[in-house]
Amino acid sequence: MFNSTIRVWGVCLVLLLAGQACTNLDEKTYDVIPTDQFGSTAAQQAALIGPLYSGLADYYGNSTNLNAVTDEQIVPTRGGDWKDGDNWKRLYTHTWDPTTDNGQFNGPWTWCYNNITSINQQLGSITDEGVKAELRALRAFFHYKAMDMFGNVIIADQVGTTAPAQKNRTEVFTWIEKELLEVYPKLSSTVGGAYYGRFNRQVVNMILAKMYLNAQVYTGTARWADAVTRCDSIIKSGKFSLTADLLDNFKVQNQNSPEIILATPFDNSKKGGFNIQMATLHYKHQLTYNLPAAPWNGFATVTEFYNSFTAQDLRKKMWIVGQQYDATGKAMDDDGVPMVITPEVPAFEMAAGPAGRLAGARSQKYEIQKNNTTNDQSNDFVVYRLGDVYLMRGEANFRLGKVADALADFNIIRKRAGVPDYTAAQLTLDEILAERGRELAWEYHRRQDLIRFGQFTKAWRFKPASEAYRTLFPIPKDQISLNPNLKQNPGYN
């Protein structure tokens, strides 16, 4: 953020030495760079992109609520708690309404396009080819997220177009692919360090792999071999490795994980906004972790999803169930009833009282920050990681008929989880979807996976079968009002 000049100030330190203090507060300017001259060097241009990445941190906030449309996350009504006009129920049962629930979808839409607009405004002043390529890749990512959620969207690659034309999903896919392939050679191959949380070649490989894995959904044409090629590029680069324990990727201080391909940095005092523990933990877990406020006792996992983990699966540690204790080890109760978190969610709408408050396994996949001073945690949010790459390559190879190659990739992941290797007879599409669920639970890939496997509109607990058009979210009515070129997705009119 710049005023008329960018200054390096001489700071007068207040010293109380020998009865003397610095009292001359006249401003002394050691360097002045006029605004219209800042950005003329590569280093200055690189500094300009920092604020543009701040929007990426909102990936978490714009994904966590919409994960409630899947079979891995449920936000049940507990008495009067989380009733919220039944919006959580409508999301979960796929009965959302484009008018009533406009805000649920307008937030993710504006997240994508506000960030795209900010990037476009900055791109014109960037001359360094590497920085420009990085910003174009970031812009393509936001288009990819919009395309995934809403289908027929806007390609916003210019400044000043007040009512850009709406494109069909195939056109948007083609434009994103072209953008990413064009910038790829100009991007840095550096991973970590100054490039932690930034777009480099491996991040672009990951986006392309995701696009190709879902190409049949997006365009009607499968691209399995292309997905394998991009996954190969990531794995064979040698720049990433699996952690010994899956949950090491989600520790409070997870920035040095060798498995993370892209994360958005958070810090409980410097960059807030990551608070999944508040949404999922029971009120009295405040005493377990010595938190500054009582959590909200909302998000849980669906009973059948929890039950898909075998007892020996080390990944099952990501769930909180059973008797709960305070920080001293004393067993806690809820209104006189032992505080035992149960995996069973008996109904979507439960009566007030301990039974409803204690229903549903809670997530501790992201390590809960003990003795925290704020409601925000310091875990960096993981967008992409190597474990997913092995699963994607395995799935794509399986769909290509290369079962031996697929088995090798899936069994790498299963070994870490402490569960037996798959045999060729055990590896089916249904099992691949289930394994992706166990490995990637609450990492916000589930909606995309369910759609790709043809499971999103099928019935599951408390949810009837839903219409095919629900695989896309409605174009927000606010946006249709602003842009007459936007037409609502079929089924929502």
Give per-residue pLDDT as tens, 101-152.
999 999 999 999 999 999 999 998 899 999 999 999 999 999 999 999 999 9
pLDDT tens string 30-76: 344 444 555 556 567 667 788 899 999 999 999 999 999 999 999 99
Calpha distance 342→321 (Å, rounded): 6
* Torsion sign (Cα): 249, 250, 255, 256: negative
- What single-letter amino acid sits at 24? N
Helix pair 169-183, 129-150: axis angle to 10 deg: 160
Residue 493 exposure: Cα atoms within 13 Å on the Cβ side: 5
pLDDT tens digit sequence for 253-299? 999 999 999 999 999 999 999 999 999 999 999 999 999 999 999 99
In whole angstroms, what is the distance from residue 444 CA to residue 363 CA? Answer: 13
d(CA 301, CA 396) in angstroms, rounded, equals 28
Do domains 45-72+96-187+457-492 and 196-204+217-265+380-444 share one topology? The answer is yes
| Contact indicator for 373, 361 with CB cutoff of 8 Å | no
Six-digit token string for 326: 């305070």
State how far the Cα of 203 lies from the Cα of 187, in Å rounded to an integer. Answer: 10
Name the nearest CA neighbour of 431 among 407, 412, 451. 407
The tokens describing 324, both together, are 């709960």
Phi, psi of 197 (to 5 degrees): 80, 5
Structure tokens at 302: 């669906």
The ranges assigned to domains in the chain are 45-72+96-187+457-492, 196-204+217-265+380-444, 276-373
pLDDT at 14 over 80: no
One-letter amino acid at 376 equals D
Q: Is pTM, for the whole model, over 0.75?
A: yes
How far, CA to CA in Å, does 29 sit from each of 33, 35, 339? 11, 16, 61
Strand, coil or helix: what is 343?
coil
Give the CATH fold of the 45-72+96-187+457-492 domain: 1.25.40
* Amino acid 159: pLDDT: 83
The pLDDT of residue 17: 30
pLDDT of residue 40: 57
Which of 474, 437, 433, 438 minimizes the C-alpha distance to 455? Answer: 433
Q: What is the DSSP string of 466-482?
A: --GGGGSPPPPHHHHHH
pLDDT at 486 over 80: yes
Task: Identify the pLDDT of residue 423.
Answer: 98
Fold classified for 196-204+217-265+380-444? 1.25.40
Provide the 8-state DSSP code for 41: S
Hey, CA dihedral for 198, 201, 207, 210, is it positive or negative? Answer: negative
